[in-house]
Amino acid sequence: MTTQPYVSPRPPARAPSLLALKATAFGHTLRRGPKWGYAFLVLLAVVLVSAEVYGTWRSLQFLGRFGSIGTNVFARILEIGLITLSSGVTFSATTTAISTLYLSDDLNFLLTQPLPTRRVFGLKVFETFLNTALVPLFLMLPLLATIGVFFHAPVWAYPVMLAAAILTFAAPVGLGALLAVGLMRVAPVGRVREVSTALGVLLSAGLVYAIRALRPEILVQKVQDPAQFEALLKNFASPTSPLLPPAWASQGIWQAAQGQLAWPLLPLLLLAGGLLLAATALATRAYQEGWARALDSSTPRLDPRPRRASAAERFAARFGIGGSLAYKDLRLTLRDPTQWSQLLVVVALAGVYLVSVKSVPIPIPQFRGILGYVQLAFQGFIVAGVAVRLAFPALSVEGRAYWLLRTGPITARQIVVSKFLGVLPVTLILGLVMGLVSARSMSLGPTLFLLSGLVSVSNAFVITALGVGLGAAAPKFDADNPAEIGVSPGGLAFMGLSLAYSVLALLLLARPVAASVLRPDLFPGYSALAAPEGILGLIGLALATVLGTLGALRWGWVRLDRLE
Amino acid sequence: MIQVSHYTKRYGRHEAVSDLSFTVQPGGVFGLLGSNGAGKTTTIRALVGLTRPTSGTVRVQGFDVWADPVKAKEAFGYIPDRPYLYGKLTARELLRFVGQLYRVPNTDSEIDRWLELFRLTEYGNELIETYSHGMRQKVAIVAALLPDPPVLIVDEPMVGLDPHAARQVRELFRAHADRGRTVLLTTHSLPLAEAICDRLVVLDRGKVLGEGTMDDLRTRTGTEAGGVHGDSLERIFFRLLEEELAEAESRKAEAVG
């Protein structure tokens, strides 16, 4: 028998595009997705964009009356907005980069193909950008377009503003990717994912805390004092945080809108490009190795002695199948760094929020009361931000092992309710702590204190149910990594609905709150709640809570039951 | 007992399974045979509650899987072709969870016994994500057998198993049926089907080509003379496919004529 020598195949004239491959897969997903979901999402987007454009335009008109000083105030608000959004991206960039760069299922295929590692790495960094920065970028676009139109910006200014916004978010993503590659390379074998994720969360929290140290609330304090307002406006002409990249982006955007190309865009470009290049250079040497280390991370320690159920497991099992399922979920969450890191994010978010609320000094009691009540809507949004990471993916994280439940003697209702009860303690404690601690720190009266608690409970129940329900209605069992699950049409719809519910809950009790805050002489203590409007408001909140919770859960389990 | 009655499954205009009916009595191993895309897995998925029939009914132990799902699911154990399990649980934890789900008495001692049988005792406390494909398949088999179900439904059981485990599994299925329980399995491994199945249904592109015991099928296809021992089912299988092809061509010719 003769053997032919192996001849390496000639490389194709043009290497296949990984992005085109992903885009094709995404196109198939879109075509197969629920059309009603897209319609709802488009409607939601139209409402949000309209409100943003309208609000921006009116603000610019109002501040424009004060001349250039007034519009400079808007420039600083833009800067603060960019700092806030980019700190949010910074917060999640490292953990998302770890899960996207190292834990995605398609890496088994991509990294075993005759492709340069840097191309796979580039694709995954792009996916990290989409997973962390797409929503903030979409939030910025209508704002930038409105600013451009308001100042009659030249045509070239629009792509420059867009590029500035992209670079603002690309920098933390590049940093996250760089940290992820470094951490995965140096973390001890056996605990690569766990150690890297924990360090990633700590680093991100440190970065965000550093940004928080800028204390934008000082500005709020000055705005409330008319004597300081004029001086503040003058001071506002210069950037508040000249060393932060989002401030460079803000200046670049602002000056582009005025028809000038600003020099701070250059350091921004260099920073974002430098970080991405550094990450790519490091990845070329260490990416594949880090990925292999992540695969090797669990070293078996063979032990024939049987490990029996713990007391906690036996206790959970007493509650029947639902209890066993909830305990199984808890166990999986605590063992999976991509899931438990979300709990750290919860704690960090609550901490940052409470520090911010405590730092806002508001001397006028009525204003304090109203602001104390309105901020509950923001808390609802934070609870939604937590629920989109914990409640919405609760079904999807079953992954391909879902067949075990689906073919087992357990109903879709039991599954959905168990998931709901598993996440509720987290959102309920978070909501109550934020609601009551912020009410206490703002020295709100007894009625507002009680209502803060009730609205927090209502938000926690309904938002968690919406998350679990919507997540069960359209689960994504084949997500390449858990970070993808929330960034989906269903996840965005969930965020929109949660915000809408937070506002609804406030509106239901707005009248007794107004009575209690504005006329404390007529409505002392809890008396505003005993008035007809108070009673109706409480009944309304109770009904909205019960119907919202049960309706969302029921919708979830009915749809889950129909799933094939 | 399993009863499939006029089961049809359509995906849009494509008919994956067409008017399929068969009954599997207790005490027997029943094989669903066919090439890729024949409709075996689609049928199995309907039986275990993963795919809703477009028409017809599927019943396990007398319970309609889609009308009375919990009772039906209490009655069967299912072994899928791909053993996706919770990677962050150990085998013992996963099997305890299954035991709680099916309310299995003496779960711990049963788990010990099964792990020992499949030589997994040492790995019992390890996360499943560290297991090889074959080890995961063994855990999936134990999970299905742990509740000692009256009906066992198995989709391509031997994928990834080493020869020792494959023989063990064949014997387990046989023993399960011999204890008066029902076993339904799909396979395209003809030697396996011939070795353990009492009755067979041969499917092709969603339609039944033949049904019965090995002897029934031999009689029908005129292959009684057999061939080499062990490959006679293969001859039957291809004869059935040829018959179907010839019939389809004659239908086409009649339509043209």
Q: Is A331's CB within 8 Å of B130's CB?
A: no
CA distance B40 to chain A (A): 17
The larger pLDDT score, comparing residue A342 to residue A181, is at: A181
Same domain, A164 and A259: yes
* Interchain CB contacts (distance < 8 Å): A and B: 94
CA–CA gap between residue A351 and residue A149 (Å, rounded) = 38
Give B237 to chain A, closest Cα distance, Å. Answer: 31
A170 or A348: which leads in pLDDT: A170
> Parallel, antiparallel, or unpaired: how do β-strands B14-24 and B76-79 relate?
unpaired
- The boundaries of the domain holding residue A177 are 49-297
Report the residue of A407, A478, A557, A562 to disrupt the B interface, i.e. the one with the largest count of B CBs within 10 Å: A407
**A219 pLDDT exceeds 50?**
no
Poorest-confidence range of A9-23, A520-534, B53-67, B107-121?
Answer: A9-23
How far apart, in whole angstroms, are the C-alpha atoms of residue B38 and residue B32?
10
Q: Which residues of B touch A403 (CB under 8 A)?
A: 50, 78, 80, 84
CB of A307 within 8 Å of any CB in chain B?
Answer: yes
Q: Does a structural domain hold residue A12?
A: no
In a domain, residue A24? The reply is no
Residues A390 and A442 in one domain: yes
Give yes or no: residues A316 and A289 share one domain. Answer: no
Long-range pairs, A522-529, Cβ under 8 A, ≥24 = A523/A447, A525/A446, A525/A447, A526/A446, A526/A447, A526/A450, A528/A447, A529/A447, A529/A450, A529/A451
A410 to chain B, minimum CA–CA distance in Å? 6
Q: How confident is residue A209, by pLDDT bands cut at 50, 70 and 90?
A: low
Please report how many Cα atoms fall inside a 13 Å half-sphere around the Cα of residue B181, on the Cβ side: 20
Are A332 and B89 a contacting pair at CB < 8 A? Answer: yes
Could you identify the residue written with the tokens 């695969």?
A295
Please count the other Cβ atoms lying within 10 Å of the Cβ belonging to residue A259: 12
Tell me, what's the pLDDT at B139?
Answer: 95
DSSP-based three-state secondary structure for B207: strand
Contacts of A90 (CB under 8 A, 6+ apart): A172, A175, A176, A204, A207, A208, A211
DSSP string computed for A510-540: HHHHHHHHH-TTTS-TTHHHHSHHHHHHHHH
A253, A269, A297: which is the final residue of a domain? A297
Are residues A266 and A326 part of one domain?
no
| Domain final position from A234, A265, A297 | A297
Last-in-domain residue among A270, A297, A324? A297
Q: Do B122 and A303 touch (CB under 8 A)?
A: yes
CB A181 within 8 A of CB A293: no
Of B73, B80, B130, the CB nearest to A298: B130
CA distances from B133 to A441, B85, B159 (A): 56, 11, 9
Q: Which of A359-368, A371-380, A550-559, B120-129 has the lowest mean pLDDT?
A: A359-368
Residue with the bigger pLDDT between B95 and A302: it is B95
**A351 and A213, same structural domain?**
no
Pairing of strands B199-204, B151-155: unpaired
- 8 Å CB contact between A472 and A557: yes
Average pLDDT value for residue range A293-307: 72
Q: What is the pLDDT of residues A39-76, one digit of tens each?
A: 877 887 888 889 889 988 988 888 788 777 777 777 87
Same domain? A441 vs A385: yes
Instruction: Sketch the domain layout of chain B as residue ranges.
Output: 2-81+89-212, 213-257
SS3 A221: helix
Cβ neighbourhood burial of B152 (10 Å; 0-12, 13-18, 19+)? buried
Query: Chain-wide mean pLDDT for chain A?
Result: 81
3 state SS of A279: helix
Residue A34 lies in a domain: no
Counting as low any pLDDT under 70, the low residues of chain B are: 222-232, 257
Distance from CA of A526 to the nearest CA of B (A): 48
Whether A364 and A342 map to the same domain: the answer is yes
- CA-to-CA dists, residue B252 to B210, B248, B249, angstroms: 21, 6, 5
Q: What pLDDT, on a 0 to 100 scale, did the predictor assign at position B224?
A: 54
Residue A221 lies in a domain: yes
Q: Are residues A259 and A343 located together in one domain of the fold? A: no
- Tell if the CB–CB gap between A306 and B108 is shorter than 8 Å: yes
Chain A residues close to B127, C-beta within 8 Å:
298, 335
A399 and A432 part of one domain: yes
d(Cα A38, Cα A135) in Å, to the nearest integer? 16
Higher pLDDT, B144 or A127: B144
Residue A22 placed within a domain: no
Give pLDDT tens digits for A93-117.
877 888 888 878 788 888 888 888 8
DSSP letters, A63-117, are HHTTHHHHHHHHHHHHHHHHHHHHHHHHHHHHHHHHHHHHS-TTHHHHTTSSS-H
Task: Determine how many CB atoms are found less than 10 A away from the CB of residue B149.
Answer: 21
Q: Which amino acid is at A197?
A: T
Same domain flag for A293 and A321: no
Task: Measure A397 CA to nearest chain B CA, in Å.
Answer: 10
Q: What is the ipTM of this complex?
A: 0.87
Helix (H, G, I), strand (E, B) or coil at B224: coil
Q: Is B125 in Cβ contact with A303 (below 8 Å)?
A: yes
The DSSP bridge partners found for residue B154 are: B79, B185
Give the tokens for residue B136.
């995961």
pLDDT in tens, A312-345: 999 999 988 989 999 999 998 888 777 777 677 6
d(CA A53, CA A145): 8
- Count the Cβ atoms, other than its own, within 10 Å of residue B132: 11
- Count of domains in chain A? 2
User: Quick check: is A3 in a domain?
Assistant: no
Examine residue A353 and state whether it is found in any structural domain, yes or no: yes
pLDDT bin (cut points 50, 70, 90) of residue A247 is confident
Nearest to B102 among A298, A307, A409 (CB): A409
The residue in chain B having the minimum alpha-carbon distance to the alpha carbon of residue A317 is B100
* Interatomic CA distance for residues A231 and A219, integer angstroms: 11
Count CB-CB contacts under 10 A for residue A276.
Answer: 20
Question: What confidence tens digit (pLDDT) does each residue in A393-439 have?
Answer: 999 989 899 999 999 999 999 999 999 999 999 999 999 998 898 88
**Which residue, among A130, A119, A108, has the nearest Cα to A291 in the 3D structure?**
A108
Confirm if A307 and B125 have CB atoms less than 8 A apart: yes
Q: pLDDT band at A7, cuts 50/70/90? A: low
Amino acid at B248: A
Give the residue-averaged pLDDT of A533-559. 95
Residues A383 and A476 in one domain: yes
Q: Does pLDDT of A232 surpass 90?
A: no
Beta bridge partners of B207: B204
Collect all residues of chain A within an 8 Å Cβ-Cβ radius of residue B90: 307
Residue A547 in contact with partner chain B when CB distance is under 8 A: no
Closest CA to A399 of A465, A316, A338, A327: A338
Residues A276 and A368 grouped into a single domain: no
> What value, to the nearest 5°, has the Cα angle with vertex A267 and ends A265 and A271?
115
Look at residue A15 and tell me if it is in a domain: no
CATH for B2-81+89-212, options being 3.40.50.300, 1.20.58.2240, 3.90.1150.220, 3.40.190.10: 3.40.50.300
